[in-house]
Amino acid sequence: MLFCLVAQTYTTVVVRAEDDFPFFETKIRPLMVEHCYECHSVKHGVVEGNFNMDTRNGMLSGGDRGIAIVAGRPEVSLMVEAIKYTHDELEMPPSGRLAAQEIQNVVDWISRGAKMPDGDDVMLLSTDVDFMQAREHWAFRELVDRRPAKSDSGIVDYWIRR
């Protein structure tokens, strides 16, 4: 019985995601093509702020300012703040505000899970990683023997007082 319920739920989610694709293709992608891709698309040769809008993973990962979209939660999504011009430092698109209906479409799309029918949904890795600096991270350092100093009150007291 439980298996049937889980299978029913999974099927419903898959159908809903597919139903969102036409909404994305008719309402959201044309908006992105017109206002976003010229500055945030690898395919156009520019990814300002390291924010790639070509794929869902790129948008969910965000850019220099952090995560842009929290799927299902437009109220905490940086993209919504930027297009509503309510963010202190970020207003997108910089050429002027979107129409109220366009903003509402983006909010609805994010509320529905920010689904995109991009078959090549691959996260692009940044090439400007300093691997020498990364080696200094504590997880990659050699282990150091840190035995506590002798204490009259006991080893537990030593660790608590540290």
Task: Give the pLDDT score at 27.
Answer: 93
pLDDT in tens, 38-66: 999 988 888 999 999 988 888 888 899 98
**DSSP codes joined into one string, 76-126:** G-HHHHHHHT-SSS--SSTT-PPPHHHHHHHHHHHHTT-----TT--PPPP
Q: Which residues of the chain have pLDDT under 50?
A: 2-15, 119-127
The number of beta carbons lying within 10 Å of the beta carbon of residue 108 is 14
Task: Give the pLDDT score at 56.
Answer: 87
Task: Give the pLDDT score at 118.
Answer: 67
- Residue 17 neighbours by CB under 8 Å, 6+ apart: 113, 115
Task: Give the pLDDT score at 131.
Answer: 67
Task: Give the pLDDT score at 46.
Answer: 87
Task: Give the pLDDT score at 133.
Answer: 78
Record the pTM.
0.62
Task: Give the pLDDT score at 69.
Answer: 92
Task: Give the pLDDT score at 104.
Answer: 97
Task: Give the pLDDT score at 141.
Answer: 82
